[in-house]
Amino acid sequence: MNRRDFIRLACGAGLGCVGLGCSSMAGSSGGGKRPNVLLILADDLGWSDLGCYGGEIATPNLDRLAKNGLRFTQFYNSARCSPTRASILTGLHPHQAGFPNLSGVLPKHCVTIPEALASAGYRSLMVGKWHLSNQSTPTQRGFDEFYGMIGGFNTFWKENSHYTRLPEGRSKRAYVPGEFYSTDVFGDYALDFLKEGAESGKPWLLYLAFNAPHFPLHAYEEDIARYEPLYAQGWDTIREKRLARQKELGLVPQDLSLTPRSVIPKNQFNTQTGWADKDNPAWDSLSADRRADLTRRMAVYAAMVDRMDRNIGRVIAHLKESGQLDNTVIFFLSDNGACAEWDPWGFDESSSAKNILHTGDDLKTVGGPGSYISYGSAWANVCNTPFRLYKHYGHEGGTNTPLIVHWPAGLKTTPGALTREIGHVTDLMPTILELAGVSYPKEYDGNTILPQEGVSLVPVFQAKRLAERAIFMEHEGNRAVREGRWKLVALQGKPWELYDMDSDPTEMKNLAVENADRVTFMAKAWDAWAVRCRVPLDPENEKLKGGNLPQTPQIANKPLTISCQVEPQSPNGVILAHGGNRQGYALWLQDGELIFGVRVNGQLTTVTAAQTPSGKIAIVARLNRDGSMQLEINGRIAGEGKAPGLIPVQPIDEMTIGRDDNTAVGNYSVPNSLRGKIEKVNISTE
């Protein structure tokens, strides 16, 4: 691919199957019957955790799928839970699908896989973790039946209000105390849904999105006990053994060296614990008590993966017994790399640096109903063997996911084959639609739909090559572009790094200096893609995470004064936003007019400037103690209004500048990015 074509692909709309020779495989077997689709998503699973990817965890059911199917070695996700889920379901990049970060809502300009499949008579079922906002639930976005969590993570042990059955009014299973464990329950509902619809004869889509092995790490004691002796060997030994198995399986080059223990990039929590930007420690350097604590944590994680595999086995057994396995296309993947939050010791409280060193009898409580733990960055480094870094980051440890495809009636590849073809989660939508014989819609429910970004993987299933293309990624300022053998990648606020992935799949030898021209044109292509897909070009200092954190302005029951200087290059977009559709405030441009909005208990009050000058402007917006609002431009009053009062509680949604990544404060669709320059932002309270 020459540079001109490379830039064109970055700037152009989604290409679908253009140039791929995408003759449909729908009805290619089974007398023309459309295939069923089973899409299985793990949560925070590392690249090397499964046996068929080199891991020591018992995953016989997934291993059998791999033995009789196809495995990808270079398949990319979007580095985080919600962004990947949005991309899978829409075929768009997460920024286009309303999820540039963890918060958002699926917009009307996208269509989901179940919505598109409805035209072909598919029955669409979902079990598990949604994590795409409660403003657009699974049944509002095309699924006929749903059981699971609308949110992101929760206890595995108790069916609290976070576990939901939709549509409302549908009957739920009853579990006696001590019987509920969400991974098993998701297996129960998956089987229920499949059996309930069997008599219809319709093809079906089942999206089975486990919340395992995401924190809080919870598992049965008998499962944990099987793994504790194994992980007492420590993370250094386990990493070495995983790499050796990967070489035996042909997953990595035979001469690949084990990477050094990965660094722990600075974050708001490990700055408190002293681990920011340090390397994970050697196992042998730890005290006996610390080794025992960390052995237990990893054993809980492994037990969760083991239990997930067993429930996948239950579903596969049903498909085989009911004669549906041969014509069911099964996809298995993870939403991101293994999770390092927040340092080598792990945490014992959500969104916190708190760590407890569990010793003696207290060790047996770890992983049980009363605990809330993660396993930390060093074990995450193991789970991502042989790669560097983790969930959140654009390096291979954050974005390379295992992908297993199993379809006895349709795959033309050799059973157990590996493919080096490069893919991305945006490819699943066009692949599934092609297999179902469904065209991607230009309009849906009266709305114009964005063109899909991915390409169909059907040629790979036919043992053919994909056309060369570039794949772009961004999350929290961590960015990457993969094109052929080359990968350009950078941490937030850091220079671009360039790697030859054919000879250096673990990204150890940075070739950026000696290939400056290549870096320049790949970076320009990324910039062009970012503009087209509304990705923040300079996200550093763009977001103050967590509305309740100390560094975020504390605004509950306080008068506010917001000032900034703006030089917009577009007539629409958010200047800044703090909060969401319940509580918060925002400044934004709409058709060139400046608007100040305040949300109080869900009620939006806006003040629109009578006249907004072009060019650079100085803005001051005030929310006074009595609820009165003033908007000034260049020192002159431009508008006034009256809110019900002060914002009564601290917003949970973070503050963002240049876009709104959460539920919208104003009457716009998120993220509503602004092009231009924003300077000297100041928020003061009395």
- Region at 615 (left for phi over 0; alpha for psi -120 to 50; beta for the rest): left
Structure tokens at 562: 């917001």
- In this structure, the number of other CB atoms found within 10 A of the CB of residue 516 comes to 10
Question: In this structure, are strands 655-657 and 573-579 parallel, antiparallel, or unpaired?
Answer: antiparallel
Of the candidates 630, 654, 660, the residue with the CA atom closest to the CA atom of residue 642: 630
Q: Omega before 138 cis (within 30°)?
A: no
What is the rounded CA–CA span in Å between residue 498 and residue 511? 5
Nearest to 559 by CA among 618, 630, 608, 627: 627
Residue 12 token pair: 């152009």
Helical pair 428-436 and 81-90, crossing angle rounded to 10 deg:
30
Query: Contact, 555 vs 536, CB < 8 A?
Result: no
Go through the chain and tell me how many residues it has: 686
Q: What dihedral do alpha carbons 95, 101, 105, 108 form, nearest 10°?
A: 0
Q: Are 576 and 656 in contact (CB under 8 A)?
A: yes
CB atoms within 10 A of CB 237: 14
Instruction: Assess contact for 321 and 314: CB atoms under 8 A.
Output: no
What residues contact residue 534 under an 8 Å CB cut-off, 6+ apart?
Answer: 95, 96, 100, 659, 671, 673
Query: Which residue's structure tokens are 């194994």?
Result: 230
Cα–Cα dist 299/635, whole Å: 62
Contact of 646 with 550, CB cutoff 8 Å: no
Q: Which amino acid is at 183?
A: T
Q: How far apart are CA 530 and CA 533, in angstroms?
A: 5
Query: Which candidate, 119, 152, 115, 153, places its Cα nearest to that of 133?
Result: 152
Q: How far apart are CA 134 and CA 582, in angstroms?
A: 13
Q: Where are the alpha helices (DSSP H) in 322-447?
A: 377-383, 396-399, 428-436
Structure tokens at 123: 């029955």
Find the Cα–Cα–Cα–Cα dihedral 524, 526, 528, 530, rounded to 10°: -140
Q: Which residues pair with 639 in a beta bridge?
A: 631
Q: Could you give the residue numbers annotated as active site?
A: 81, 131
Q: How far apart are CA 122 and CA 116, in angstroms?
A: 9
Show Cβ contacts of residue 504 under 8 Å, excluding neighbours closer than 6 positions. Answer: none
Instruction: Decide: 238 and 382 in contact? Cβ < 8 Å.
Output: yes
E strands, 509-592, where? 543-544, 560-568, 573-579, 584-590
**Helix segments in 167-266, DSSP class H:** 182-196, 221-231, 235-249
* Helix 288-321 and helix 60-67, axial crossing angle in degrees, nearest 10: 60
